[in-house]
Structure 1
């Protein structure tokens, strides 16, 4: 781990509105990277950062960096990487190992899908500003317009973008604002943190 003097000496670069994801003891949260160096980042939070054991920063490319929180002030936090990174990968994600994509939260939300006059239980297993992944026992058609209702989100109209039954990909008719979706999803457990029994009646019906 770099010393305090080394961290202060590391050149810092301002990054505006670089959306990323914090994985905090298995729970996932949106954040925005404000500035970065090889030794750490300053991020904007949308929910308080709880006491934790493990903290990881994930980029849109899928690259992950283990970190620790060294300070918080209002809705911002300073994170120090456990190992120095190649900061150019934060500045230009085209240099990373994978293609950049919308940041997705891996979550577990039960809901109802309305399609063709039917209402069927579904589970959402990931969500981004523009779309979501669901599991549905009902066969759905690509490009079919559906309505999704959940306890924490407003009604969502979406089209089926791809299918691999029983898993489907949705693209929303109207995208979410980052702050709105981040606050609504804060505190929702990840699927990885839930026992299998949770999904036997995930819709609550």
Structure 2
């Protein structure tokens, strides 16, 4: 069954890319991946799922439309980045060519010093931190399915339970896991679904406007 799904996926990608990118019909290898990643641009960071890759490019699953005519870079979980050239986008899917030659084996193996590190979306979002009867102001710097990072002048304790509130976010219950100066790492009591996180990040960044 797995092999049938793999062949179907490869056939689908071949059909999608052949009409749009005839120069890549001779690409020697195509690898099914199904791996979370993000597309980085001057307007924000957008979560996606890499469906497959070849030496020539990748196809991805999307959870919202991408900004038009904006250069995009694929960033994998290990931090590797690949500038892309957009080829097609439709119905929650998109295909890209690599702007520069890419090492397919490195993409597949994705070596990293971080064990199973979740994809993080970098933000610059004002938020309120509540604990007990108190509330303090902070800035949410990044967000993943399992947690996030905030900066606040308030001294928080390790393992302290807090709640995060911000425009565009559901209320997030979390624990403080680490502290470096005014920066705190958080783990959520209830993980976000990947698609939910993708849509939240998209809406928050769209409301904030282009980055400087």
- Shorter-chain TM range is 0.7 to 0.9
Is there any run of 5+ residues in structure 2 with no aligned partner, and where? 1-20
**Equivalences for residues 111-190 of structure 1 within 5 A:** 111-189=127-205
Q: Of the two structures, which has the highest relative contact order with CA contacts closer than 8 Å and spacing of 6 or more?
A: 1
Does 2:24 match 1:7?
yes
**Equivalences for residues 45-84 of structure 1 within 5 A:** 45-84=62-101
Other-structure match for 2:121? 105
Other-structure match for 2:13? none
Equivalenced residues, count: 188
In 2, Cα distance between the equivalents of 1:86 and 1:43? 18
In 2, Cα distance between the equivalents of 1:134 and 1:35? 34
Q: CA deviation at 1:9?
A: 1.5
Q: Secondary structure at the match of 2:204?
A: coil
Q: Secondary structure at the match of 1:188?
A: helix
Q: Secondary structure at the match of 1:112?
A: strand
TM-score w.r.t. the length of structure 1 is 0.85
Q: CA deviation at 1:110?
A: 1.4
In 1, Cα distance between the equivalents of 2:107 and 2:196? 25
Higher percent of residues as helix: 2
In 2, Cα distance between the equivalents of 1:43 and 1:27? 17
In 2, Cα distance between the equivalents of 1:146 and 1:192? 30
C-alpha RMSD over aligned residues? 1.9
Runs of 4+ in 1 over 3 A off after TM superposition: 187-192
